[in-house]
Every structure is written in structure tokens, then in C-alpha cells.
Amino acid sequence: MNYNFREIEAKWQRIWREDQTFRAAADEKRPKYYCLEMFPYPSGSGLHVGHLKNYVPTDAFCRFKSMQGYNVLHPMGWDAFGQPAENEAIRRNRNPRAMVPEYAAAYRETLVQAGCSYDWQREINSSLPEYYKWTQWMFLLLHRQGLAYRATAPINWCPACKTGLANEEVRDGRCWRCDAPVEKKPMPQWFFRITAYADRLLADLEKLDWSEGMKEMQRDWIGRSEGAEVDFAVAGSRESIRVFTTRPDTLFGATFIVLAPEHPLVPVVTSAERRSEVEAYVRKAQGESEIDRLSAERAKTGVFTGAGAVNPVNGETIPVWIADYVLMGYGTGAIMCVPGHDERDFAFARKFGLPVLQVVSRDGSCYDLQAAEPAEGIAVNSGRWSGLPTAEFTKAVTAWLQEKGLGRPTVNYRLRDWLISRQRYWGAPIPIVHCPACGEVPVPEAQLPVLLPDVENYHPTGTGESPLAAIPEFVRTVCPKCSGPARRETDTMGGYACSSWYFLRFTDPGNAKAFASRQALDYWLPVDQYTGGIEHARSHLLYARFWTKVLFDEGLLGFEEPFLNLRNQGSLLALTPGRRPRAQEEGREDEKIIDWVVLKHDEREKYPADQIIWRWARMSKSKGNVVTPEDIIGRFGADSLRVYEMFVAPFEDNVQWSEEGIQGSHRFVARAWRWLQAARPLYRQDWRDSLPAEFSPEAGYAAAPTNSIEQGAKGGPAECRVRRKLHQTLQKVGAQIESFQFNTALAAIMELLNAIYAYAPLEKESLPPASDAAIVSELAETLVLLLAPFAPHLAEESWQQLGFATTVYRAPWPAFNPAVAASDSVNVMVQVNGKIRDKVIVPLDCDEETVKAEALRSAKTRQSIEGKQVLKMIFVKNKMLSIVCK
């Protein structure tokens, strides 16, 4: 009777492991279902209850799919290469090579304890040679396709992590891992040409069943804009400045040109007398951090180059300036400025006394512009195009420019190429050899993997070189082409390279001949259900889509989008101690710390308690606010924790973690257990054959006399009511798990359990003697099946107790019987002039005349319409009778 969850949970975790219950193997007889969670990177010392906010519901979903008859692939692995793991190793003064397996083991242990049904035979670790061999192989594939290239460019440099970062790894001008302000540093680096796929990455979003917010984030990041390139001849020179504009209709209003400080034409066009000032400005701009440079609402700065440029539409010469608000990386790095119709240009013109000209009008007339008017309208002051609406003008002038060879329509993307080089130790070495004679030579496939050497010092050097550069045995090699002496590339790949294809490897993790066999890929992929944090909206999800498309183009995959369906779990928030920032920390542009700083571990003890400010913050090891599952599991059991994590809020929502509610979930689980124990003596597996006829709809119970109006339609005998509730619950729960509404699915099961207790309450740990064995059997058996996705240990133990020899996850998810689930009577509301005054209980699908008659017989209804004239009645079957009167 006692609910000994410790014993039960340990027992089933052992059986699942020994029997390999969740092992997935290709099986043509069953439809496959690939359900995947984003694999975690090992940082901090373990998984916390926040991680389980994703893993537990997704696990319930997998168990449900398995009961539905799907051949479920549910794998887990470790995103073990990259900065998070390496930073953690440095912090703990451990070698990542030794640390990562320990962390992985601890993570695995926690997931096992939480009762998650992974196929551990397929566990992968991206930092092992058998895995990163194929990461390197894919690099070479990209290289062969011209999609991996080396270039010297100003990159995002994190001075704290001492490495380059991709744009996607920079948040608010800060490093994604350590929050240090990012600098610009020109360096030779490896890039992946993701921009070549910008249009497809954008267009194929339409095919995906992702949240609108998620798709919008990707659209924003790709940032497509249509416009035109226009060439402005530099006065007195053969050079011309190419600008990109989305508003070629405002060409007549261009009163100056601005180049980005890094623009190659700057030194060329600058006049001798302006040179020193221009050079000083360029130097200053280079030294500025991304944060400074990108902070909005910042006063405009810039200098005049002394040059002039000729506007192709009217032949007028306008001055050429440089300013840091123009970015070299976007468009052509040069803009034509139309202060009349662009706010930034307006601010710049005001500051430097440049002319403002109106060329677009709301109504076709000219008026004084008090501010920039960026809206579309009717062209004015635009020569022969005056009077045209914006859209037409844009078309006409673009065509004219193209004809004259002065411009052309263009599409621009905000997306930049993906910087993959890291000057760090803990990553997959880039498989390239630099040969003085042959240049850049890819390592032949047969020589893969290029092993990451085991070293003493793996710390970043800070010189801009990878620690690998300091290992002569690694660097010195021979050229695969000419066999002459050569040196290896010493940069490693950023962690996102590993996570861009891991979902492929899970289908065939042991394959030594290919990243996965085509057969396995074709059978399992694409991923049917993907879950993970929204923080990967731009980075990982964009990269993985890009690699998939590359592999598809190469003919290696039969699909173009890896994750058809994506759901983002909400986070758990924990009450976190913080403090007001100190004087030297104030005034920073970063809003996140403007009035609150998380107290560091060592500060927490010393800080005066009355000055601590508590706030809800996302659980993370770095904030020191995590709750570990082991503790909760020890006190309440894994099944209770699972139920709580799913019941507390919708999957997608953030939740403020509190332990108050877990008691309620535990109460529910234990209550189910107690009833099932009491039901055992009555249980018989052949209950279907012995179900009393009067309790089944086939025997016509729906027409029983209790159903009539006269009887007040209590809904039939108790047996019928509890069966109805059971089958209604089945219908609800199935649909709700399918749509990831675990919280309401659990609420429905709780309702059912309440109904079961009302039908057969426990008396001294047993059921009432008069209980019908067949009904009790149906209730017990079905309850176990309903609970199986949520409380798996309890379900397996109960299933075994009922006499079943095989796992409950091979049992079919119970089908609901619509005839049993159907209500025999309904409440029909009686509304008088829009207010509910009464209700009548009538048989299901009762016709209008009967309901009317029934309603008018009721004293309450008659009282409400007394002395009034009934104008009309509106009848909605099974729902409402609305009486309008005066």
C-alpha cells in the first residue's frame, strides 16, 4: 500500500537499462518517429530542474508516441566541444578532455533518474575523434563547394575568451558566453558562405511548422531588403561610388554621400587638405567597440573627405563624407543621404549644416519639412518623375538607371557569412594544410580525423593564435599535394559546427565509413519533433538548416529542412539575490545591469541582507540559483517531479519555480497509486468480456430511463457516469499530448481520478465490496495507460502488478469509445435578454420545440419574461436558448 517510490523507480530504471527497453532499430513495419531535444553542452556541474522543463515533457511525448505504435527514436548526446565546455574547464582548472566525460556521465545519471527514455546505445559526444572526424569531413565538403573560405576581415573579437566570434554569438555587443564587450579586429579567418543560401533559408521558412515568433526572428536575422544599387561618379576622378538604397525614388533628394570609415575608396577620394582629419576619424572608428558603435540614439559624427560625387539623375555634385553610422558590412558600405526622408540622414544634415530637400509629399504639394518623412507618397522636385507615386517611381527610375548602366535592382541581406575559426584549443581542428608551394591544401579524406593533440596548456594565448600553434609536432606536417614541408591550420572550429549535423549522426552513430548510412538517414529523417530553447533562434537553427541544404545539394540527403516541427520550452525562473550596481558600473549602456547585478557566490555571504534585491531570473549555474533534481527526486520521487514540471504551466511558458506546488503533484501520484493498489484484488484481464451489458452503450444504456427529462437526467447509473468520464478523458488526453498541452492533459487525468474516487472510494485501503469487478478493471487498466507517459515508473510497476509481462510502452494507447464518451444529457442555458436566467437539462441533441417547452415550464424562466412580449428566440442545439423580449 505504501507508495515506495524510491524502490519502484530504482527497479524500473534498472530494468529499462538491462532490457534496453528504449532501443530504437529500423523497422519497416512500424512508422518511424524521430523526436529530438537540443543536446546540452556540459557546463556547470549538472543538469537542473530548468533543463527538465524541456526533457521531461518531451520524454512523455515519446512514450506516448511509442504507445501509439510508432517506432520512436529518442536519442541524447553531448555538445561537448566549444567555448562553454572549455570555459568551464578553465574555471575549474581542469583539462577539458578529462572533465567532459565526467560531466556527461553526471548529466546522463540525472536524466536516467528523471526516468527519461533515451536510447543510450546512440549516445554521442561531439568531442570524440569518431565524431569530429565527420565534422572535419563536412568542412572539406563545404570547402570543395567553395562554401568555406579564408579571408582577412575585421571580426568580432572577444578579449576575455581571446577568440573570434560569429555574428550570431554576439549579443548586445557582448560575448554570448562571458558577456565581455566585443571588439573589432582584422584577422585572417575561416568563414562559411551561409549568405549564398540566404534566399533559400528565408523562403523555406514557409515550409516549417515553427512558431511565428521563431520564424520572424530568422527572417529578421536574414534581413532581406529589395532596392537598387546606384553609381555616383566621383568628381574629377575615374572612380565611382556604388551605393545601395531601398528608396531609389528619393534620388533627387540626395544631398550628400556617406561612406563607411573602412570603405576602400576613402583613402582614394580624400583630398590632401582633409587627409589628416579623415585618417584620425578612421582610426578612432576602428578602435571603437561594437557596443559604442551600435548604440542607438548616439550623436552623429563624421568628417568631410573633400570629394564630390555626381548624382546620376540630375548631374549635381554633392559632397562625400565618412561617418561611423554607415556599416561596411551591409550593402555596399556607402549610402546616398536623403535627409528629407530618412531620420538618420536628417540628424546628420542638421548637425553638419547640409541641405534638406523635399522630394516626397503626402499629397503632391511642397511644404516645409520639420522632420524627416520616411513614408511613401507622391514625388515632388524630381524632374520628369514628379507626380509619380513611390512604387511606380521606384520601378521607373530603376529601369532607367539600368538602361544607362548607372544602376540596377538588387536584393540585400543583413545576414553575414558565418565566422567559424576559433583561436581556442577545445574544438575540431580545421583540416587544412598551408603549403608554401601549393597554398591552402585540404587534408585528404583518408587522413581524417586531424586529431586534436593532448596538451598540457590549453589556455587561450591572447596573441590571436590558437594554443595549437605552440605545438610544433602538431603544426609541422607535409603537404598532401607536393609532400614538401608545410604547416597545419591551427584554428579550431566553433562549437556550432558540431551541432549543425549531430541530428544526422544519431541515426547511425557507430558508422566508421560515413557520417551515417544513407539507409539510416532515409529511414529516420527528417526530425519529426524538435524541442529546445528559443536562444538558438538565430545561431544553431540557422546553421543546421544551412548544412542540411548543402548536404541536400550534394545529393547526400533526401530532404532540405531538418526540423519540420519545432517547439520552444519556457524557462524556469528562480528567485535570485542581487544588488544595485556600484558607481563604476553605472552609466553603462547595457540595460540589463542598469539597476540590478546578480550577487556573486562570494558576495552573497557578506552582503547585508536588507540591501539584497531579490528578482526572478532564469535558472543557470552562473547565477547560482539552480535547484537540482536529485534533491527533489529524493524527497518526492521522479514521477512526482515529472508531473509537477508538466503540470505547473504550459510547455512554452516561463515559470517562477517554487516547491509549493510539488506537494500537490506528489499527492496526485500517490493517490493514483493507492487506488490502483486497492483495485488489484478485483482486477481481471478479461474484463472486456464480462462488462455488464447494462453499463455499455451497445446494450442501450444511453436510453435508460434515468435519461429522461422526468428523471432529471442524472446521467445514468454511477457505472455509466464513471465510464463516460473515463472515455472522455481518453479522448482529451490523447489530443492534448499530441499538441504538447501536458498541463491540461494532467488536469484531465486528475479529474478522472477524482471521479474514480467518487465512484469507488477507498475504505481502509480497499474498494467498496459492491464494486463491479469489470468496471474496476477497466478503470485500473486504463488509468495505468493514461499515466504511463507522465509517471513511467509507477505505470510500469502497476502494469506488472496487473499481470502483464511486457513493458507498458508496447501496449497500445487505449482508443476511446465515442458511444461511451457521449453525454446522454446536456445543460441548455436559458438566456433572457442576454442574461442567463435558468438552465434546463435535456437529452443530447434535443430539438428546439422540446427545449422551448421545457424552458417555459420552468418557474424561473417564466418569472424572467413575465409581463414582457417575446420578440424572438434563438436556439443553439445542446447549448443555449436565448429569449429576446420587451
Minimum CB–partner distance for residue 56 and RNA (Å): 15
Residues 172-191 that bind RNA (CB under 7 A): 172
Nearest to 641 by CA among 24, 29, 59: 59
Binder among 69, 480, 650, 717 for RNA (CB under 7 A): 650
275 binds RNA (CB under 7 A): no
d(CA 703, CA 467): 82
Residue 150 or 623: the one with the smaller Cβ distance to RNA is 623
Quickly list H helices, 22-93.
49-67, 83-91
Q: Quick check: 217 binds RNA (CB under 7 A)?
A: yes
What is the grid cell recorded at 418?
A: 558565418
Q: Is 746 in the site for RNA (CB under 7 A)?
A: yes
Find the shortest distance in angstroms from Cβ 585 to RNA.
20
Residue placing its CB nearer to RNA in the complex, 137 or 330? 330
Residue 15 or 829 with smaller CB distance to RNA: 829
Whole-angstrom Cα distance, residue 221 to residue 80?
Answer: 27
Whether the CB-CB separation of 170 and 418 falls below 8 Å is answered with no
- Report the residue from 455, 470, 811, 884 that binds RNA according to the rule CB under 7 A: 884
Read out DSSP for 783-823? HHHHHTTTSHHHHHHHHHHTT--S-GGGSPPPPP-HHHHS-
Is position 743 an interface residue for RNA (rule: CB under 7 A)? yes
- Rounded to whole angstroms, the Cα distance separating 40 from 51 reads 9
Question: Does position 667 bind RNA by CB under 7 A?
Answer: yes
Out of 350, 395, 837, 852, which residue is the one contacting RNA (CB under 7 A)? 837
Q: Using the rule CB under 7 A, which residue among 412, 421, 696, 707 binds RNA? A: 412
Of 94, 414, 481, 487, the residue at the interface with RNA (CB under 7 A) is 414
Question: How far apart are CB 466 and RNA at their closest, in Å?
Answer: 27
**Least distance from RNA to the Cβ atom of residue 412, Å:** 6
- Residues 70 to 89 in contact with RNA, rule: CB under 7 A: none
Label residue 381 left, alpha or beta by phi (over 0 means left) and psi (-120 to 50 means alpha).
Answer: left
Which range, of 264-272, 467-475, 651-659, 791-799, touches RNA by CB under 7 A? 651-659
Q: Find, among 864, 708, 823, 705, the residue nearest to 881 by Cα.
A: 864
Q: Does 154 interact with RNA (rule: CB under 7 A)?
A: no
Least distance from RNA to the Cβ atom of residue 478, Å: 44
* The binder of RNA chosen from 300, 395, 434, 621 (CB under 7 A): 300
Say how far apart CA 778 and CA 723 lie, in whole Å: 9
> Interface residues for RNA in 589-648 (CB under 7 A)?
635, 647-648
- Binding of RNA at residue 505 (CB under 7 A)? no
Binds RNA (CB under 7 A): choice among 271, 511, 654, 771: 654
**Shortest Å, Cβ 216 to RNA:** 4
- Three-class DSSP category at 829: strand
Select from 86-94, 232-240, 469-477, 667-675 the region that touches RNA (CB under 7 A). Answer: 667-675
Nearer to RNA, 420 or 669 (CB): 669
Q: Which letter does DSSP use for residue 374 in this model?
A: -
Q: Does residue 655 touch RNA according to CB under 7 A?
A: yes
Which amino acid, one-letter code, is at 884?
Answer: V
Span interacting with RNA, options 194-202, 211-219, 464-472, 843-851, rule CB under 7 A: 211-219
Question: DSSP letter string over 115-139?
Answer: T----GGG-EETTSHHHHHHHHHHH
* By the rule CB under 7 A, 680 interacts with RNA: no
333 binds RNA (CB under 7 A): yes
Phi–psi pair at 158, nearest 5 degrees = -95, 115
Q: What's the alpha-carbon Rg for the chain, to the nearest Å? A: 34
Establish if 408 lies at the interface with RNA (CB under 7 A). no
d(CA 383, CA 365) in angstroms, rounded, equals: 14
Quote the cell numbers at residue 22.
528504449
Residue located via cell numbers 457516469: 721
Number of chain residues interacting with RNA (CB under 7 A): 89
| Residue 147 region by backbone torsions, left for phi larger than 0, else alpha for psi between -120 and 50, else beta | alpha
The residue type of 335 is I
- For residues 670 and 753, is the Cβ–Cβ distance under 8 A? no
Is residue 718 close enough to count as binding RNA by CB under 7 A? no
How many angstroms separate the CA atoms of 158 and 156, rounded?
7
CB of 443 to RNA, least distance (A): 35
CB 825 within 8 A of CB 713: yes
217 vs 399 by CB, closer to RNA: 217
Does position 216 bind RNA by CB under 7 A?
A: yes
3-state secondary structure at position 253: helix
- Residue number, 733 or 774, with CB nearest to RNA: 733
Write the interaction track for RNA spanning residues 753-772; mark x where CB under 7 A is met and - where it is not: xx--xx--x-----------
Q: Which of 396, 364, 367, 110 is nearest to 251 (CA)?
A: 396
The footprint of RNA on residues 454-483 (CB under 7 A) is: none
Q: Is 320 in the site for RNA (CB under 7 A)?
A: no
Task: Report the distance separating Cα 389 and Cα 661, nearest Å.
Answer: 61
Q: Distance of alpha carbon 817 from its chain centroid, rounded? A: 37
Stretch that binds RNA, among 194-202, 296-304, 378-386, 467-475 (CB under 7 A): 296-304
d(Cα 838, Cα 861) in Å, to the nearest integer?
A: 6
Does residue 425 sit in helix, strand or coil?
coil
Closer Cβ to RNA, 46 or 664, answer by number: 664
- According to DSSP, the residues that pair with 157 across neighbouring strands are 164, 183
Q: Shortest Cβ distance from residue 821 to RNA (Å)?
A: 11
Inter-residue contact 648 to 566 (CB < 8 Å):
no
- CA atoms of 728 and 719, how far apart (whole Å): 14
User: According to CB under 7 A, which one of 317, 511, 622, 833 is a site residue for RNA?
Assistant: 833
Residues 507-566 close enough to bind RNA by CB under 7 A: 534, 537-538
Considering the complex, what minimum distance in angstroms separates the CB of residue 876 from RNA? Answer: 5
User: What x-and-dash track marks residues 231-260 binding RNA by CB under 7 A?
Assistant: -------------xxxx------------x
Asked if 816 touches RNA (CB under 7 A), the answer is no
Which residue, among 500, 494, 551, 543, has the nearest Cα to 521 in the 3D structure? 551
Q: Which residues contact 140 (CB under 8 A, 6 or more apart)?
A: 431, 442, 443, 445, 448
Q: Least CB distance from residue 846 to RNA, whole Å?
A: 14
Instruction: Report the residue number, 95 or 731, with the smaller CB distance to RNA.
Output: 731
- Identity of the residue, 77 or 734, whose beta carbon is nearer to RNA in the bound complex: 734
| Contact stretch for RNA (CB under 7 A) within 499-507, 574-582, 678-686, 745-753 | 745-753
Q: Which of 235, 470, 475, 829 binds RNA (CB under 7 A)?
A: 829
What is the smallest separation between the CB atom of 839 and RNA, expressed in angstroms? Answer: 6
Q: Which of residues 363-402 bind RNA (CB under 7 A)?
A: none
Q: Does 852 bind RNA (CB under 7 A)?
A: no
Q: Is 293 a residue that touches RNA (CB under 7 A)?
A: yes
Distance CA 9, CA 832 (A): 57
Specify whether the CB–CB gap between 31 and 524 falls below 8 A: no
CA distance 262 to 233: 19
127 neighbors 26 (Cβ within 8 angstroms): no
Nearer to RNA, 4 or 754 (CB): 754
Least separation in angstroms between CB 167 and RNA: 8
The answer to the question of residue 747 lying near RNA (CB under 7 A) is yes
Decide: 479 and 433 in contact? Cβ < 8 Å: yes
- d(CA 884, CA 814) in angstroms, rounded, equals 46
Stretch that binds RNA, among 64-72, 95-103, 330-338, 350-358 (CB under 7 A): 330-338
